[in-house]
Structure 1
Amino acid sequence: MEKLPTIKEIAKQLKVSVSTVSRALSDHPRIGLGTKLKVQQLAKEMGYEPNAQAIFFKQKKTYVIGVVIPYIREEFFSQAISGIESAAMEHQYTILFGQSYDDPEREKAVVEAMKKQRVDGLIISLSKQTNRYDHLEALNKFEIPVVYFDRVPPFKEAHKVFCNLYKGTVDMVGWLFNKGYRRIAFINGPDKLNASKERMNGYIEGISKQKLKVDMQMVEKTDLSKESTHNAMKKLLALKHPPTAIITFNDYVHMDAVQYAQKQNILVNKDIVFVSYANLPITSYTAFPPLVSVEQYPYGQGERAMELMIKILSEKTDNKITNTSFYVEELPATLVAYQQATAGG
């Protein structure tokens, strides 16, 4: 196997010192233009590649950002990864990617592995069961900043990027009310998710805003599994006065809820209409997409999270960052209608 050329070999051929070659390759101002051109030209001809590890060691940077998400198979997170990677490449960073599979213990293990790899920073969307943050706060002593996106922690002392799901839910309830629907049910997500709390608060505010009574019998929750969603649907349909409209936690819950409704011979989006969150492209290929969905901009969230990370790392290099300075970016959640709704009840 042919060995890669080294700085020593370039220096030997040009009869200059190794330090001169090193400085010429890094465009050091103390090296004359003529020498620089000779060194760089020979390095190119020889196929010289700089030793990235040596450079990173010297600069105390790896130019790698750790990224942890629940599932890559979910379209929302795969779009977010694309946004993160696109922004990373623009700034000559690469990403080290891991999945928590919505398991807090696995999330801890992945974060620990990335810490050992000495990533420059960590971008994470929390697992649905995460309610302790010690494993993430521990990164502070290693000077590894953390940026949360989409599934963010409830406390203020964190860098985070997310959509305003509270307002999105209020708007969604208002949209249904204006279409004539009054018995509006809600299948929410796991209690530990801050996003579930935002949706719940938005639902209560949206119902109250329309002068309707908040009936907690109309509220069920799912752990995001098909079985749990089917059970939530079973309870809602068993009510004396079942709902005429159902808000589902996300587009995956929507599809499971619709599947159950069909098995009960319910005419979807006629007997009961469904609305959702995320506005994933996959729903446009289903027989019954949600009448309206809250756009959460996964690509944009990922892209902005990486841009925020680059900004934090730049300030860290310039010694401008402090432990009391946190960036919070809230993207607007907008409603996207798929089809016209018929008059509700």
Structure 2
Amino acid sequence: MDNKLPTVKEIARRLNVSVSTVSRALSDHPRIGLRTKTKVQELAKEMNYEPNAKAIFFKQRKSFIVGVILPYIREEFFSEAISGIEAAAMEHEYTILFGQSYDNPEREKQVVDTMKKQRVDGLIISLSKQTNKYEHLQALDKYDIPVVYFDRVPAIENVHKVYCDLYQGTTEMVNWLFNRGYRRVAFINGPEKLQASKERLKGYLEGVTRQKLKIDMQMVETTDLSKESTHQAMKKLLSLKNRPHAIVTFNDYVHMDAVQYAEQHNVQINKDIAFVSYANLPITSYTAFPPLASIEQYPYGQGKKAMELMIRILQEKSAGTTVPDTHHTEKVMPTLVMHHPVAR
């Protein structure tokens, strides 16, 4: 029994035509007559012929593969994002090649290098929390590999990026808290190198300023996103002479660690101190103390937009319509979601 995959040569032999005729018929070339084209395509279907991906790559200079690098797939935010990326990729008959940086810049560089060697058509990346130099990504330009950043984007303008407007969302959240009587609002921010942390801090300071209150930087702490670092931030906030009435946490994972520490130190959650957060991940609904409110960042939508932007860039490149030095920026507007909107 012949288990070999059918080839263009086999189709050509059975129809007594040239290999080039079969190749052109399969690619719907206009110079091939309808009768011949129909015969070739019907026989190819009958034989379960599948195009050779490598051959298509060498002919079209395309792999139809887009690389995707995320910090951690285990985080629900990024697993939702990659689902959006994959959905858009499949709609356009692209495959994704996935890698994790584990929030390590050196690991990120290694994965980028692997993607380059695999000759991906483009790269979508959410930066590691410590990445503040981008030479390893900018170097892909000479290989004609476009890069689209999403969520964790660099603080530079001349790149393609998709991200959530966290400045606006944070300002709205602080305003929401003040309107409900929480006058001392503290903030546990993320790693300082992240542009997302800078946007959050900017929004927090703007929100407090709009209340015509003096900024108290004792109310601002940072975490490297580890449980130990978040607990240390909480220790400092709870040791203040005037404890905060509410705490804004960097994301839902930081929220859960912060709440854990507070509960261990006899704080009545969302009574003595209210907690609000970012991301609005479904996992928080299974915890004893979900945030009073969350900023929905739409990870699935961000991922889908990032891939759709990549497809547009690749299509413009293939059509030769790319405008030099033109870069696309797309903002996803957040939504403040109230879970237990209590009044004080």
* TM-score, normalisation: structure 2: 0.98
What's the CA shift for 1:157? 0.6
Which residue of 1 is the match for residue 121 of structure 2? 120
Q: Distance in 2 between matches of 1:4 and 1:128?
A: 46
Runs of 4+, deviation exceeding 3 Å: none
Letter in 1 for 2:127: L
What's the CA shift for 1:40? 1.5
Would you say the 8 A contact 1:152–1:160 is kept in 2?
yes
What's the CA shift for 1:254? 0.2
Q: What are structure 2's unaligned runs of at least 5 residues? A: none
What's the CA shift for 1:255? 0.4
Q: Distance in 2 between matches of 1:64 and 1:209?
A: 47
What's the CA shift for 1:20? 1.2
Would you say the 8 A contact 1:150–1:161 is kept in 2?
yes
Q: Distance in 1 between matches of 2:191 and 2:50?
A: 50
Which residue of 1 is the match for residue 202 of structure 2? 201
1:295 aligns with 2:309: no
5 Å-filtered alignment, 1:294-313, equals: 294-313=295-314
| Corresponding residue pairs, total | 343
Q: Distance in 1 between matches of 2:313 and 2:41?
A: 33
1:140 aligns with 2:153: no
Would you say the 8 A contact 2:187–2:219 is kept in 1?
yes
Q: Distance in 2 between matches of 1:288 and 1:113?
A: 42
* SS of aligned partner of 1:284: helix
Letter in 2 for 1:275: V
Letter in 1 for 2:339: Y
Letter in 1 for 2:245: T
Would you say the 8 A contact 1:270–1:342 is kept in 2?
no
5 Å-filtered alignment, 1:262-281, equals: 262-281=263-282
* SS of aligned partner of 2:96: strand
5 Å-filtered alignment, 1:68-217, equals: 68-217=69-218
What's the CA shift for 1:342? 3.5
Q: Distance in 1 between matches of 2:206 and 2:26?
A: 62
Letter in 2 for 1:235: K
Moved more, 61-70 or 320-329: 320-329
Q: Distance in 1 between matches of 2:324 and 2:201?
A: 32
What's the CA shift for 1:13? 1.3
Q: What are structure 1's unaligned runs of at least 5 residues? A: none
What's the CA shift for 1:337? 0.3
Letter in 2 for 1:134: E
Report sequence identity in percent. 72
What's the CA shift for 1:34? 1.4
Would you say the 8 A contact 2:69–2:100 is kept in 1?
yes
After superposition, the CA RMSD in angstroms is: 0.9
Q: Distance in 1 between matches of 2:335 and 2:49?
A: 51
Which residue of 2 is the match for residue 338 of structure 1? 339
Letter in 1 for 2:66: I
What's the CA shift for 1:47? 2.1
Moved more, 284-293 or 318-327: 318-327
Moved more, 21-30 or 79-88: 21-30
Which residue of 2 is the match for residue 28 of structure 1? 29
Which residue of 2 is the match for residue 61 of structure 1? 62
Would you say the 8 A contact 2:293–2:341 is kept in 1?
no
Would you say the 8 A contact 1:119–1:144 is kept in 2?
yes
Residues 206-226 of structure 1, C-alpha deviations (whole Å, 9 max, x = no match): 001011111000111000000
